[in-house]
Amino acid sequence: MQKSTKVKITFVVILIGIVCMFTAVVTDHWAVLSHQVNSVNSTCEAAHFGLWRLCKKHIYIDDTEAVGKGCGPLSLPGEVNCSYFRHFTPGEDSEIFEVKTQREYSISAAAIAVFSMAFIILGSLCILGSLWKGKDYLHKPAGMFYAFAGVCAIISVEVMRQSVKRMIESEDTIWIEYYYSWSFICACIAFAFLFLSGIALLLFSMPHMPKNPWETCMDAEPEQID
């Protein structure tokens, strides 16, 4: 396979990773929480949240087998109320949803995700510059920026995972069950695609290796990317 073809395939993988990371950052389905159902013919509360917003759903329960289990599934009909996290000011959501440790983790996960998006923007600017000006050497910084974006994405995922774990284990919250949803999966896919494609782009932009032992890198003819 020619080098130009490999680079084009890498660009496609990078684009998929960018879409997945953007989707993870702007959506609110990183984790789904539920508290215990105590009685039938009443409502219970489930919630899903992302980096910026929490959505609570009041679900009506009429099945006796649901008593003692977690509220849900989230696909059941019910009234939904969404609100943005008040990370820096006290409020109702801070009192009910965010214990002190979870609040700190949530701020960190959001900040690291923003760094990931910043690296993606820088890498994309390098790619646009290389396509516009025909400067292939811009692939090197682009590859590094995309790899850094992938690292930030997985760090944000791990911080969010620790946040949910500590929140469930805390005695200050009502939530007893949780699972990670599709926004969380998008962030994991973004890490894999951005990190691997960034490393691949960096390797593809390296100088042509000599074919003979007596040939030095300086003597080798440079490869051109069409």
pLDDT value for 105? 76
CB 47 within 8 A of CB 57: yes
Give the span between the Cα atoms of 83 and 71, in whole angstroms: 20
Give the span between the Cα atoms of 149 and 217, in whole angstroms: 31
pLDDT value for 95? 46
- As given in the structure block, the two tokens for residue 151 are 């690292």
Which helix (H) or strand (E) segment is 84 a member of? Answer: strand 78-84
pLDDT value for 125? 93
pLDDT value for 188? 96
Average pLDDT of every residue of the chain: 81
pLDDT value for 19? 97
pLDDT value for 215? 52
Per residue, what are the HEC states of 170-186?
CCCCCEEEEEECHHHHH
Task: Pick the closest to residue 178 from 78, 84, 95, 102 (CA basis).
Answer: 102
pLDDT value for 94? 44
Task: Kindly state the average pLDDT of the residues 132-157.
Answer: 90
pLDDT value for 208? 61
Residue 154, pLDDT above cutoff 80: yes
pLDDT value for 214? 53
Task: Kindly state the average pLDDT of the residues 37-42.
Answer: 75
Give the span between the Cα atoms of 111 and 207, in whole angstroms: 36
Question: Of residues 128 and 54, which shows the higher confidence score?
Answer: 128
Q: For the chain, give the percent of residues with pLDDT over 90.
A: 35
pLDDT value for 93? 45
- Integer-rounded Cα Rg, in Å, for the chain is 23
Q: What is the DSSP letter of 130?
A: H
Residue 165, pLDDT above cutoff 60: yes
pLDDT value for 124? 94
CA distances to 10, 146, 186 from 154, rounded to whole Å, are 20, 13, 11
Contacts of 51 (CB under 8 A, 6+ apart): 25, 30, 106, 109, 110, 113, 156, 160
Task: Kindly state the average pLDDT of the residues 170-199.
Answer: 89
pLDDT value for 60? 82
Question: What are the extents of the domains in the chain?
Answer: 1-85+100-205
Task: Kindly state the average pLDDT of the residues 6-19.
Answer: 93
pLDDT value for 88? 45
Give the span between the Cα atoms of 60 and 58, in whole angstroms: 7
CB 53 within 8 A of CB 207: no
- CB count within 10 Å of CB 153 equals 32
Task: Kindly state the average pLDDT of the residues 32-50.
Answer: 81
Task: Kindly state the average pLDDT of the residues 201-221.
Answer: 63
pLDDT value for 172? 67
Residue whose entry in the numeric block shows the structure tokens 């702007």: 26
Task: Pick the closest to residue 80 from 122, 35, 48 (CA basis).
Answer: 48
Q: CATH classification of 1-85+100-205 is 1.20.140.150, yes or no?
A: yes
Give the tens place of pLDDT for each residue, 59-98. Answer: 887 777 767 777 777 888 888 888 777 654 454 444 445 4
